[in-house]
Chain A
Amino acid sequence: MGSDENRLIHYSVDKPGRVTAAMLVSTVLAIMLAVLPSIWPATFSMLNPLAVDTDPENMLSSEEPVRVFHQQMKQAFSLSDMVVVGVINDVHPEGVFNPQTLAQVFELTEFAKTLVWPDPKPIPGQPESLKGVIEVDMIAPSLLDSIEQAGLGSVKFDWLMPEPPATQEQALSIRDKAQKIPLLNGTLVSDDGKAIAIYLPLSDKHYSYQVKEALEEKITSWGSDHNNQFHITGLPVAEATFGIEMFYQMAISAPLAMLLIFLLLWFFFKKLSIVISPMIVAMVSSLTTMGVFIATGNTIHIMSSMIPIFIMPIAVLDSVHILSEFFDEYQKTRDRKSTLIKVMGHLFKPMLFTTLTTMAGFASLYFTPIPPVQVFGLFVALGVFLAWFWTITFIPAFIMFIPEKKLENFGYVSGDGSAENSLLSRVLKKTGRFSFQQRKLIILGTLVMLVVAVMGIKKININDNPTKWFEESHPIRVADRVLNEKFAGTYLTYLALESNAVAVSLDNYATGLMRKVIAEQKISGNGEAAQLAAINKKIVNAITQKVKVNVTQNELILFLDSYIEMQIEEAESADMDVWEQVQAVIDAEKQKVELFKDPEILNYIEGLQEYLKTISVVGKSNSLVDIVKTVYRELHLGNIEDFRIPDNRNAVAQTLISYQNSHRPHDLWHFVTPDYRKANIMLQLSSGDNQDMLIVEQAVKEYFENNPPPVELSYRWFGLTYINSVWQEKMVAGMANALAGSFIVVFIMMSFLFRSMLWGLLSMIPLTMSLGFIYGVIGLIGKDYDMPVAVLSALSLGLAIDYAIHFLSRSRQFYALHGNWPDTLNAVFAEPARAITRNAIIVGVGFLPLLAAPLVPYQTVGVLIASILISAGIASLLMLPALITMLQKYLWVSSK
C-alpha cells in the first residue's frame, strides 16, 4: 500500500497537467452523457435523458404488493387522485351560501371542466382523448344530484345547483339539501355551512400542478372585490409543488451552501487561488455523479435530488484536511513538492479509511427495501469515492500549478509564533489540556449525555406526511389546516372489502345448477318434453366443456349467462321462452354471490362505520351503505326512521337501481364493483400523518377480530395515505438494519486499520455519541423521525467517524514519534485538531443556508449536518483524549 500511495502522490505532483486533464475530460464526458439526450432526445435516443419524479408512491417499487393492489383497486372502483379546492367565506353570515359566492363556485366548476389537454401519448388508431380533470367524476354543487321529496308521495332527482341561485333563499336551500345527504355533508359542504369543497379527479396526478396553476389564475382574475377565500390542496398538489420547489432549492440552496463554504475556506486559508481547489473537487464529484446517475437511466426523485448536497460537504472535508495541514506546514520548508509529499504521507491512510467508512455508510442504504433510497446510497458512495480520488490527485496537482512566488505569505510562518498564537490554536490547546485534566468530568458528562440520549430516543416518533414537507406558512400547509378544520378531512384512505369465495367442488355445483333448471321447468310447465330435453342437453354440454378447463364458479356462471344470451339471439320464438326461463335460474344463481346487496353484510359495514366514527382522526367514512340508506329514506317519506338498510336483498337492489336513475349512475361504482363482490369504505382523515393512519389500521384490525363478519370477508387498505405509511414503516426498519449493519462493518474496518479491537471500539465512540445525541434531541424536541432524518443517519455514520479516524491515527503517528501520551496530546491538538475544527466549522456553517429553504426536508438536512459535524467534532476532541488518558495502559501496550 505504501508504495502505491507514494506513486500516486508523486504522479500527481510531477504531472499536474495530466491529472487535471483527466479530471476535466471525465467530468465533461459524464455531463455530456446526461445533457445531450435531455436537450436532443431524438438525436441521442440511445442515451437516457433527465427524468424527474416526485411521487412518494415510488418510494416503493412498482411491483410492491401494496402498490399493485392500490392500482388494481383504483381501477376496480374508478378512483382517481384529486385536487381539492376549498372555498370559504367567513364574512357573510351564511358563509359560502350566498348568491355571489355560489356564482363563483359555479363559474370555477365550469372552468375546471375545461382543464383538459390532448393525450401526450395517444394510442394509435384510437380517437384523440383528453387528459386532465375527469369531468364526469368531479364533485361540485352544480354537478351532483340531489334526491328529495317533491310532495304527495313524489320523489325528485334533480341537480343540486343547476345554476347559480338568484336569491339568498335559494342559496340556503342548496345548503339544506346538501347537508341532508350524508355523502355530501362534511365532504362537499362543511358542517358549519361556511365552506364548500370542489373535488377535481385527475386522469393522472401529474396534471395537478397545471390544474392548480390554471385555477389560481382564474381566481386571481376575479380581483379582491369579494370575501371568498380559495384554497387549493390535495396530496397530488403537494407532491407536484414539492417537485417544482425542489428544483428551485437545488438551484439556490446548494450553490448558496457552496458559496458560504467557499467564503469560510477563504477566511481560514486566506489564499483565493488555493481555496478554489476544494470547490472544484466538490463540483466535479457532484456533477460527475449526477451525470452518471442520469446516464444510467435513474430518475431524479426527492431523495436523489439531495445527492449533490450530500456529496459536497464530504468532498470538501478531505480537501480541508490537506489544505489545513499544508497551511500549517508549508512555511517550514517553502517547498510545495516536499510539503505535499509529507502532508499526503500523513493523511493518505486516514483519508482512505474515512472514505471507505463513509462509502460503507451510504452503500449500506442499498439494503433498505426502498428503491429511491437504494440508488441514493449507491450514488452518494460513488460521489464520495470520486471526491476522495480527485482530492488526493487533483488538490496536490492544483497546488503545483500555483507559482511558489504566490505562496510566499501562505500559511503559518514558522518561528513567528502565529501558529501557536491564533485564537483557534489557543482554544484548542486549552481544550487538549482540559480533556487531559478533567477526563473524569468529561466521562461523567458523556454518561449523563448518554442517559439523556436514551431518554430522547425512547420518545422518538416515527412519522411522515408529505404535506408537512412544506413550512407552516406555505399556502399548501395553510390550505391543509383550514380545510381539515372545516371539513371531515382531506386525506383519503380506502378499506377494500372482498368476499372470500367458498370452495365447493365445481362438479357438484354444476350438477346442482342443472337440477335447479329442471325443477324450474317442471314448475312452470313451459315447453314440450322433447324440446326441453334438447335444450337441456345443450346446457349440459356447455357446462361440461367449461368444467373440464377448471374454471371458478363465478366464471362458469358468467359463461352460461353469455351462452344463453347467444342462444336467445338465435332461438326460434318457441324456444325463446324456455331459454329465458333458464336464464332466470342462472341469473338468480349469479346474484347469490353478489355479496354487497346482502342486508346482513351491509349492516356489518354500517356497524364498522359507526365504530370508525369513534376514532378521532377519522372525520367521516362513506360507503355503499350511505347511498342505500339515503335513497331508501327518500323513496319513503324522507323521515329519519326510514334512514336504514332495507330488510332483503331485492329491496337493496331496487333501491340501488332507483339511485342509478340519476344523472350520475356511475357514481355507485366508486363504492362497489358492478358484480357486487368488492366494495370499499372511503375514509376521510383529518391528518395525513403515518402515525394516524397506523392508529386507524390498528383500530380496524381490532374491530374485525372482535366482531367477525357474518361471512368470510377479507379487508385490505389502499389509498395514498396508506401507501405513505407503508413505505415509511419499511424505510425505518430498513434504515435501522442498514445502520446496524454498517455500524458493524465500520467497526471491523476500524479494528483492521488500527489492528486492535480496543482502538476500533474507541473510534466508534464519537460516532455513537453524536448519533445518540442527535436522535436524543430529535426525540426530546418532538421532531418526527421522517425520511430526511432516517437518511441522515447514514451521513452521520460517515462523517462522525472521520474525525475519530483523523484524531486517532494522527495520535498514533505522534506517539510513535514522542513515545509518551502528554507530548503526543500536545502535538495532536496542534495541526490535526485545527484541521478537525476548521472542518467542522466550514462544513457545518456552510450548510446553514438550507435553513432558509421553504421545504422542511432541506431545513432538516441543514440542521442535522451542522449538528452532526459539531457534535462529532466535540466528541472527538473531548471524549477521545479523555478516554485515551484513562485507558493509556491498555491502548499503548496493545498497539505494540
Chain B
Amino acid sequence: MNKHHLYLRFFCIQVVLSFFFISPVVAKPLSVDEIVQRSNQAVYYQGKSGRAQISMVITDNQGRERKRRMTVLRRDAADSDEVAGLAYLGDQKFYVYLHRPADVSKMTFLIWKHLRKNDSRWVYLPALDLVKRIAASDKRTSFVGSDFFYEDISGRNLQEDNFTLEETTDKLYVIKGVPKDPGSVEFSYYRLYIHRQSFIPITIEYFDKNDRKYRIAKALKQENISGFPTVTKASMENLLTGSKTVMRYRKVEYNINLDDQLFSERYLRKPPKKYLR
C-alpha cells in the first residue's frame, strides 16, 4: 500500500467524519484547557476499558525492519467518559502482552498510571522466569525498542505542561505545550495539531533545546469503532536517528469488562488467554 493511497483514504475518512460532526449550533470557542482535555480523553480514555492488538514495524534509516505484535488491555479507574468537570480523568492500568517476535513471545508488561504520583511498572521475562519491577522515574524511554516512548502508549500527564493555543484553522487547533519542569524531559516544547471535530491529534511535533524539530508523531488512519473515533494507524518518527515506527491497531474493542484482578503481578505470569486472541 503506497503512501499516497493512505493519505487519500485518510482524507475521505475525514470528509465523511466531518458530516457527522457538523453541529448546527455555533458553539462558543473552547479554551485551550478544554481542547487538550478533550484530546486526552479521545486518545487515552474512551470507554471504561478497551483492548487492541498492535502490529509494530520499526524501520531504521537503512530501511531495515523489525516487527513486533502485542495486545494491549486498558482499564480506567473513572467510570465516566465525560470531559466536563474532568469526570473521565483518573488512574489507569495497562497490560501488554507480546506475541512476536517468537523469542520474546509471552513477555508481559504492566503499567499502573497514576495521576498524582510516579507510575508503577513491571515486566515479566518468561525465559528468565523473572518478574521485575521497573523504577519508572523516567517515562520517556523506548517502548520495546521502538520509537514510541512508554509515555506515548500510556499518555502524558497534562499537569506537567503549560498549553497555549497558537492558531485555530478550519480543521485544526494548533497548540503548544511547554514542560513546567524542563529538566525532566528531553524536549523544550511540542506542538499539537488537534483535529477540531474528533479531538484526535493528527500530528505532534517535538522540538529540542536548540529549537530543532526532532520527533514527529502522526495519526495516519482513523476509524469509528463502537461509536468511538479511534486511531487505527499511527507513526512515530525520530528525525535524529532516522528511525520510524508504524503501529497498526486491530481487533479494537471498547468496554469489555476487564476485571481489575487481571492488572496484577500475578497475571503477568499467567496471561488471560481469552483477551489475547
Q: Which residues of A contact B (CB under 8 A)?
A: 75, 78, 110, 113-114, 130, 135-136, 145, 150, 152-159, 162-163, 561, 565, 568-569, 573, 576-577, 580, 583-584, 587-588, 590-591, 594, 597, 632, 635-636, 646, 648-655, 657-658, 660-663, 665-666, 668-669, 673-675
Distance, CA A163 to CA B186, complexed state (A): 12
Residue of B nearest to A675 (CB): B64
Q: Is B126 an interface residue (CB 8 A)?
A: yes
Report the minimum CB–CB distance from B189 to chain A (whole Å).
Answer: 17
Report the minimum CB–CB distance from A861 to chain B (whole Å).
Answer: 44
Q: Are B104 and A657 closer than 8 Å at their CB atoms?
A: yes
Q: Are B62 and A75 closer than 8 Å at their CB atoms?
A: yes
User: Which one, A569, A594, A657, contacts B145 given CB within 8 A?
Assistant: A657
Q: Contact mask B141-154 → A, CB, 8 Å, 1/0?
A: 11111100010000
Q: Are A663 and B143 closer than 8 Å at their CB atoms?
A: no
- Could you pull out 30 A-B pairs where Cβ atoms are within 8 angstroms? A135-B240, A145-B141, A150-B135, A153-B133, A154-B133, A154-B135, A155-B134, A156-B134, A156-B137, A163-B183, A561-B67, A565-B67, A568-B55, A569-B248, A580-B99, A584-B100, A587-B102, A588-B102, A635-B132, A648-B127, A654-B127, A658-B125, A661-B141, A661-B144, A662-B141, A663-B186, A666-B60, A666-B241, A673-B64, A674-B60
Q: Is B107 an interface residue (CB 8 A)?
A: yes
Known: A157-B134, A646-B128, A661-B142. A591 touches B101 (CB 8 A): yes
Q: Are A577 and B62 closer than 8 Å at their CB atoms?
A: no
Q: Which residues of B contact A (CB under 8 A)?
A: 1, 55, 57, 60-62, 64-67, 69, 99-105, 107, 123, 125-128, 130, 132-135, 137-138, 140-146, 150, 183, 186, 209-210, 212, 238, 240-241, 243, 248, 250-251, 277
Q: Are A654 and B62 closer than 8 Å at their CB atoms?
A: no
Report the minimum CB–CB distance from A162 to chain B (whole Å).
Answer: 7
Report the minimum CB–CB distance from A700 to chain B (whole Å).
Answer: 28
Query: Which chain A residues lie closer than 8 Å to B102 at the CB level?
Result: 584, 587-588, 590-591
Query: Which chain A residues lie closer than 8 Å to B248 at the CB level?
Result: 569
Q: Are A650 and B127 closer than 8 Å at their CB atoms?
A: yes
Task: Please give 19 more A-B residue pairs, beta carbons under 8 A apart, in addition to A584-B99, A661-B142.
Answer: A154-B133, A156-B134, A156-B137, A157-B141, A158-B138, A568-B55, A573-B251, A590-B102, A591-B102, A597-B103, A632-B128, A635-B132, A649-B103, A653-B103, A654-B104, A654-B126, A660-B144, A662-B142, A665-B142
Report the minimum CB–CB distance from A80 to chain B (whole Å).
Answer: 13
Distance, CA A113 to CA B214, complexed state (A): 13
Q: Are A157 and B138 closer than 8 Å at their CB atoms?
A: yes
User: Which one, B57, B125, B132, B140, contacts A154 given CB within 8 A?
Assistant: B132
**Nearest 10 Cβ contacts at the A-B interface:** A660-B145, A650-B127, A653-B103, A150-B135, A651-B127, A156-B135, A665-B142, A154-B133, A587-B102, A665-B145
Q: Are A654 and B128 closer than 8 Å at their CB atoms?
A: yes
Residue of B nearest to A135 (CB): B240
Residue of B nearest to A597 (CB): B103
Query: Which chain B residues lie closer than 8 Å to A150 at the CB level?
Result: 135
Query: Which chain B residues lie closer than 8 Å to A113 at the CB level?
Result: 210
Q: Are B127 and A152 closer than 8 Å at their CB atoms?
A: no
Distance, CA A584 to CA B61, complexed state (A): 27
Q: Are A636 and B130 closer than 8 Å at their CB atoms?
A: yes
Q: Are A153 and B132 closer than 8 Å at their CB atoms?
A: yes
Report the minimum CB–CB distance from B100 to chain A (whole Å).
Answer: 5
Distance, CA A590 to CA B65, complexed state (A): 13
Query: Which chain A residues lie closer than 8 Å to B142 at the CB level?
Result: 660-663, 665
Residue of A nearest to B61 (CB): A78
Known: A663-B142, A669-B60. A654 touches B240 (CB 8 A): no
Q: Are B133 and A158 closer than 8 Å at their CB atoms?
A: no
Query: Which chain A residues lie closer than 8 Å to B104 at the CB level?
Result: 650, 653-654, 657
Distance, CA A715 to CA B186, complexed state (A): 39
Residue of B nearest to A76 (CB): B62
Distance, CA A468 to CA B104, complexed state (A): 49
Query: Which chain B residues lie closer than 8 Å to A658 at the CB level?
Result: 123, 125
Report the minimum CB–CB distance from A209 to chain B (whole Å).
Answer: 22
Query: Which chain B residues lie closer than 8 Å to A649 at the CB level?
Result: 103
Distance, CA A674 to CA B62, complexed state (A): 11
User: Which one, A591, A663, A673, contacts B140 given CB within 8 A?
Assistant: A663
Query: Which chain B residues lie closer than 8 Å to A159 at the CB level?
Result: 138
Distance, CA A658 to CA B103, complexed state (A): 13
Query: Which chain A residues lie closer than 8 Å to B135 at the CB level?
Result: 150, 154-156, 158
Known: A155-B132, A568-B55, A660-B144. A646 touches B101 (CB 8 A): no
Distance, CA A668 to CA B146, complexed state (A): 13
Q: Are B144 and A657 closer than 8 Å at their CB atoms?
A: yes
Query: Which chain B residues lie closer than 8 Å to A674 at the CB level?
Result: 60, 64-66
Distance, CA A658 to CA B123, complexed state (A): 9
Report the minimum CB–CB distance from A244 to chain B (whole Å).
Answer: 28
Report the minimum CB–CB distance from A557 to chain B (whole Å).
Answer: 12
Distance, CA A849 to CA B135, complexed state (A): 66
Query: Which chain B residues lie closer than 8 Å to A635 at the CB level?
Result: 125, 128, 130, 132
Distance, CA A707 to CA B210, complexed state (A): 51
Q: Are B137 and A136 closer than 8 Å at their CB atoms?
A: no
Residue of B nearest to A150 (CB): B135
Distance, CA A568 to CA B54, complexed state (A): 12
Distance, CA A110 to CA B208, complexed state (A): 12
Q: Are B126 and A650 closer than 8 Å at their CB atoms?
A: yes
Report the minimum CB–CB distance from B122 to chain A (whole Å).
Answer: 9
Distance, CA A153 to CA B101, complexed state (A): 26
Distance, CA A150 to CA B241, complexed state (A): 30
Report the minimum CB–CB distance from B237 to chain A (whole Å).
Answer: 11
Query: Which chain B residues lie closer than 8 Å to A594 at the CB level?
Result: 103
Q: Are A661 and B145 closer than 8 Å at their CB atoms?
A: yes
Distance, CA A150 to CA B138, complexed state (A): 13
Query: Which chain A residues lie closer than 8 Å to B238 at the CB level?
Result: 136
Known: A588-B102, A597-B103, A658-B125. A663 touches B141 (CB 8 A): yes
Query: Which chain B residues lie closer than 8 Å to A162 at the CB level?
Result: 183
Distance, CA A588 to CA B99, complexed state (A): 12
Report the minimum CB–CB distance from B267 to chain A (whole Å).
Answer: 18
Report the minimum CB–CB distance from B271 to chain A (whole Å).
Answer: 15
Q: Are B55 and A565 closer than 8 Å at their CB atoms?
A: yes
Report the minimum CB–CB distance from A184 to chain B (whole Å).
Answer: 18
User: Which one, B126, B130, B210, B240, contacts A136 given CB within 8 A?
Assistant: B240
Query: Which chain A residues lie closer than 8 Å to B69 at the CB level?
Result: 580
> Which of B137, B140, B142 lies at the interface centre, i.e. has the most chain A CB atoms within 10 A of its CB?
B142
Query: Which chain B residues lie closer than 8 Å to A648 at the CB level?
Result: 127
Distance, CA A162 to CA B137, complexed state (A): 12
Distance, CA A660 to CA B123, complexed state (A): 13
Report the minimum CB–CB distance from B38 to chain A (whole Å).
Answer: 31
User: Which one, A583, A663, A666, A673, contacts B100 given CB within 8 A?
Assistant: A583
User: Which one, A75, A110, A130, A654, contacts B125 given CB within 8 A?
Assistant: A654
Distance, CA A155 to CA B61, complexed state (A): 31
Residue of B nearest to A586 (CB): B102
Distance, CA A663 to CA B185, complexed state (A): 11
Report the minimum CB–CB distance from A829 to chain B (whole Å).
Answer: 73
Q: Are A666 and B243 closer than 8 Å at their CB atoms?
A: yes
User: Which one, B1, B133, B138, contacts A152 given CB within 8 A?
Assistant: B133
Query: Which chain B residues lie closer than 8 Å to A110 at the CB level?
Result: 209
Query: Which chain B residues lie closer than 8 Å to A576 at the CB level?
Result: 250-251
Query: Which chain B residues lie closer than 8 Å to A661 at the CB level?
Result: 123, 134, 141-145, 150
Query: Which chain B residues lie closer than 8 Å to A660 at the CB level?
Result: 142, 144-145
Distance, CA A341 to CA B60, complexed state (A): 77
Query: Which chain A residues lie closer than 8 Å to B145 at the CB level?
Result: 657, 660-661, 665, 668
Query: Which chain A residues lie closer than 8 Å to B251 at the CB level?
Result: 573, 576
Query: Which chain A residues lie closer than 8 Å to B277 at the CB level?
Result: 577
Report the minimum CB–CB distance from B197 to chain A (whole Å).
Answer: 27
Report the minimum CB–CB distance from A109 to chain B (whole Å).
Answer: 12
> Which of A584, A590, A661 lies at the interface centre, i.e. has the most chain B CB atoms within 10 A of its CB?
A661
Query: Which chain B residues lie closer than 8 Å to A588 at the CB level?
Result: 102
Distance, CA A663 to CA B101, complexed state (A): 21
Residue of B nearest to A129 (CB): B239
Distance, CA A531 to CA B193, complexed state (A): 44
